[in-house]
Structure 1
Amino acid sequence: MKVQGFSHVTINVKDLVRSLRFYVDVLGMKLVHRGRKDAYLEWGSAWICLQERPDMAEQRPQIGVDHVAFFIDEQDFVEAVKQLKANDVTIVWEPIRRGRGLSVNFLDSDGTQLELHTSTLAERMKVWK
């Protein structure tokens, strides 16, 4: 297999309209397509699919994806954190330096944990070796 990189993430949400307000209005993602029960968004080179699945709300698994992290330039990090706080976004981990990068973890409108991180895998491995 010759995988070339990460493609996208699909996030199940309870209410598509409410989630779009968070992802577009608060985080600033670009809405590319809106269907009846799904929406496709771009955020830099990443793309995200939001899939309305209210039936899954009570079935949150304990095992599976812990969080989804997005790369952000360090020069934009402080302003991004200010924007999260100005919009009363729940911060799970306050901004900290992890390895050689800065991280902040926060929750979307359904409690899915997201992260903004400023370093690459190669930079992190220099610290862990």
Structure 2
Amino acid sequence: MIAGINHITFSVRDLSSSIEFYRDFLGMKLHVFWDTGAYLTAGDTWVCLSLGQADPAKDYTHIAFSVGEDALLGLRAKLDSAGIEEWKVNTSEGDSIYLLDPNGHRLELHCGTLATRLAELERSPYKGMVWY
């Protein structure tokens, strides 16, 4: 039985710029790095950066990280000056920024929880929604 997410690994073309993005822009904690990789954490989530050929998904597949509202406001202000591309505009419950990392991986910074999303869906369900 799966108990949760153990870690997330991103393949990256340039380790230094990726560490800079995840540590300095997103505020993850860097624990260690070596010639071909690095380990960081976002809260309790372990993130690995692994030097290689990055080939990110071009569909809606993405990783969403929890962010407080004040932190999200600060990151939103830094987006333009940092030249970071947004790949989607948020249309669902909870404020979000959808951005690309330096390798084109799709990320979401989200203020909200599953509970707040489900509460919103009770008020305005998706077409064909079935509750359990």
Coarse TM-score class (shorter-chain normalised): 0.7 to 0.9
Q: Do the aligned partners of 1:26 and 1:84 also contact (CA within 8 Å) in 2?
A: no
TM (norm. structure 2) is 0.79
Aligned length: 122
Long gaps (5+) in structure 1: none
Cα offsets for 1:49-91 (capped at 9, x unmatched):
00111xx34x55667x811110011232211211222211111
Mapping 1:20-99, distance limit 5 Å: 20-53=19-52, 56-57=53-54, 66-94=61-89, 96=90, 98-99=92-93
Tell me the distance in 2 between the aligned counterparts of 1:115 and 1:61. Answer: 14
Q: 1:110 aligns with which of 97, 103, 107?
A: 103
TM (norm. structure 1) is 0.81
Which range moved further: 22-31 or 33-42?
Answer: 22-31
- Aligned-pair Cα RMSD in Å: 2.2
**SS at structure 1 position matched to 2:95:** strand
